[in-house]
Amino acid sequence: MNRFVSELMSKMTLEEKIGQSTLISSWWDVTGPVSNNDYAHKAKDGHVGGFFNALTCDFLYRLQKEVVENSRLGIPLMFGYDVIHGYKTTFPTPLAMSSSWDMEMVELAARSMAEEAAADGLHWTFAPMVDIARDPRWGRVAEGAGEDAFLGSAIARAQVRGIQGKNLADTATLIACVKHFAAYGAPVGGRDYNSVDMSERQLREFYLPPYKAAVDEGCQTVMCAFNDINGVPATTNKWLMTDILRDEWGFDGMIVTDYTGIFELTNHRTVRDSADAGAQAIRAGVDMDMQSAIFMNYSKENYEKGLISMEDIDRACRNVLNMKYKLGLFEDPYRYCDTMRAKRVLKHPKFFNASFEVAKRSIVLLKNDNEVLPVSKETKTIALIGPMAMNKRNHLGTWHTAGREETVTPIHEAFFKEFPNSRIIVEEGCWYEGDDRSKFVKAVAAARQADVVVMCMGEQEFESGEAASKTDIRLAKIQRDLIDEVAKVNKPMVLLLHNGRPMVLTDEEKKFDAILEVWHLGSMAGPAIADVVSGDYNPSGKLTMSFPRSVGQIPVYYNYLNTGRPEDVNVRFTSRYLDSPNSPLYPFGYGLSYTSFSYSDITLDKDSMTKNGSIKATVKVTNTGKYDGDEVVQMYIGDKVASVSRPLKELKGFKKVNIPAGKTVEVSFEITDELLKFYNADMIRASEPGEFNLFIGGSSQTNNSTVFTLN
């Protein structure tokens, strides 16, 4: 127990202890439903523990000074903000970034955004979001790492390392907050904030691992989810917060609600009123109440009525004060508020360089018939068509918060620089939505003059993210109509797809010669895209979330169970659709390159192992094309027979390797007992002896396989 914090708490009144558990918005920025409450005056009395949505070094210094100099004990505030994929310099959205499969780049992005935000006086970010998601109708898939728990766990660890560094008192770092605990990424119908209904096995096997990975990496705070899980709201879920998170996983940090999460419990109809909501939340394990002000307004009354204990209040207060102690705020409340440092650090070129490197690696080549890509720099005329061609703002993507469009280099400017010997004709063609076709004529005329047509289509930044669920995840009709008209010109066509979620591309897949999934890439979107289109950078991204053929397939994911009647297109009474294959259009782990790679058969140093042993699995990967390239080599394992039905295959290892043209590299993986564990029929996480299928290849659909045995 922290002695300093214990001594401080011995001097605190009941109201002051409760105040530390209150987190309120400053209204500098709004990230949720707007309220008219203003609790700034409460902070001076020591009855607020922190503010969020407060920005700039100077403002935070003044706010801190008010509290430290005017409150009885001078306890400093903690300042939080949604620094999700960049601060002033914007990086690719998290789903885009995950497609790099490059943990060094993920960590670099997290470290960069933390350093920049901390330089502006912030202490705490509400990131990473590690919710596993299998339903692209849910807009917040853009904030996570996709559908797989193994990859999601690796990314969660990299993000926590990048955000927190090795010392929380280092003023170039922030406190991380893993969210949303738990299973927020599986709402019924893909509708944001909706209920989640799943078995404990499903929860533990596929949804909890990334949260645990973040906690194991040292993440100091955890945010409750908005949803209920099997009828119990996450904000009052003692089984999640206390039994699993604290007692089972050993988490000793702080738990904060999401925006007005306690207030919303009355809508879940599991509490009588706001006072009951506050009592249930703190008893379940919540330490800090974001924006509801229910702890502030009702905890004293709840304590006097015996509905909560002093132990509950002390635990919550202690966990908040421990965060402030680790940040070094008691030593110097103003240590993050250095205006000279802010001037030196904010929007520093190194952050833009980092954003550029991450953005290039996040792009996924989905199709490239007839080697239309890369586009030669000697191409005579290029038509750049579509609403994203000249746009800046929408490259920022969802949750860009402090990022501004003036930091963005748009596509058309980057193309002028990348293709100096080419004539670039730029036409918007249409807006993202609506029915104005007045610009179609100019777009078609541009296509007629071009040697190659590059169409920049997709979603606006607000069409994915929070409260952005959709039932139709195709391109808007106006965009599809423009594509149809341009396609009639019969020129080589490239689609640049800008979006925050997997989309249904069955029509586009037929009409375009090449498709690049370029997501929302942030400040350096234009240069990164131009580099890939020209071939200066060979695309190396792989999908981390499957793209469905139609909405009717959703949820669609690679690690499914086989069922008693697996798909057989020649037999009607099997688990299949009459009008579509079961498989996605583009599967998890899929991504092409301008070069090609071939895989050798898998070799094992031995074909069986004990639980204390291991097997080394090796493949040789050859670059059989004419370009140097990076390949993400992926290892999947499938238990052939188990006490419960198991997925046909699950990702259990990956390595991103650079292979020069014509060269071969050897890639090895170590298979240990830990990789073979699962929740068995008795809900015990353990491995079971028997045979296992082993796959190593370039996507989840690889058939390059062998068998090994666990004795």
Q: What are phi and psi of 313, to 5 degrees?
A: -65, -45
On the CB side of 509, CA atoms within 13 Å amount to 15
- Measured between alpha carbons, how far is 375 from 383 in angstroms, rounded to an integer? 12
Q: Is 435 exposed, middle or buried (0-12, 13-18, 19+ CB in 10 A)?
A: exposed
Does residue 258 carry a catalytic annotation?
Answer: yes
- Measured between alpha carbons, how far is 284 from 236 in angstroms, rounded to an integer? 5
Question: What single DSSP character describes residue 81?
Answer: E
- Measured between alpha carbons, how far is 567 from 196 in angstroms, rounded to an integer? 27
Q: What is the DSSP string of 50-62?
A: EEES---HHHHHH
On the CB side of 112, CA atoms within 13 Å amount to 26
Question: What single DSSP character describes residue 546?
Answer: P
Q: Both tokens of residue 73?
A: 């004990």
Neighbours of 641 (CB within 10 A): 10
Q: Which of 120, 135, 148, 258 is catalytic?
A: 258
Q: Both tokens of residue 467?
A: 């409260």
End-to-end CA distance of the chain: 45
Signed CA dihedral, 649, 655, 656, 662: sign only: negative
- Measured between alpha carbons, how far is 621 from 602 in angstroms, rounded to an integer? 11
Specify the 3-state DSSP secondary structure of 426: strand
Neighbours of 271 (CB within 10 A): 21
- Measured between alpha carbons, how far is 93 from 77 in angstroms, rounded to an integer? 29
Taking phi over 0 as left and psi of -120 to 50 as alpha, with beta for the rest, 562 belongs to: alpha
- Measured between alpha carbons, how far is 652 from 674 in angstroms, rounded to an integer? 10
- Measured between alpha carbons, how far is 347 from 692 in angstroms, rounded to an integer? 50
Nearest to 286 by CA among 310, 247, 264, 253: 253
Q: Return the bridge partners of 50, or none.
A: 23, 78
Do the beta carbons of residue 658 and residue 629 sit within 8 Å?
A: yes
Angle, to 10 degrees, between the axis of helix 103-119 and the axis of helix 149-164? 40
For the CA atoms of 620, 621, 623, 628, the dihedral, rounded to the nearest 10 degrees, stands at -110
DSSP H helical segments within 385-489, as ranges? 411-418, 440-449, 477-487
Taking 3-state DSSP, the helix, strand and coil percentages for the chain, each rounded to the nearest 5, stand at 35, 20, 45
- Measured between alpha carbons, how far is 319 from 322 in angstroms, rounded to an integer? 5
- Measured between alpha carbons, how far is 107 from 95 in angstroms, rounded to an integer? 14
Q: Both tokens of residue 575?
A: 């688990």
The label of the residue with tokens 């010669």 reads 513
Which residue type is seen at 630?
Answer: D
Helix H, strand E, coil C: the string for 381-412 is: EEEEECCCCCCCHHHHCCCCCCCCHHHCCCHH
Do the beta carbons of residue 639 and residue 646 sit within 8 Å?
A: yes
In sequence order, which residues have a C-beta less than 8 Å from that of residue 452 and are 6 or more positions away? 372, 375, 379, 382, 383, 491, 492, 493, 494
DSSP H helical segments within 1-133, as ranges? 3-10, 14-20, 40-44, 57-70, 94-98, 103-119
423-427: strand order across its sheet:
364-368, 514-517, 493-498, 452-458, 381-385, 423-427
| Catalytic residue positions, numbered | 258
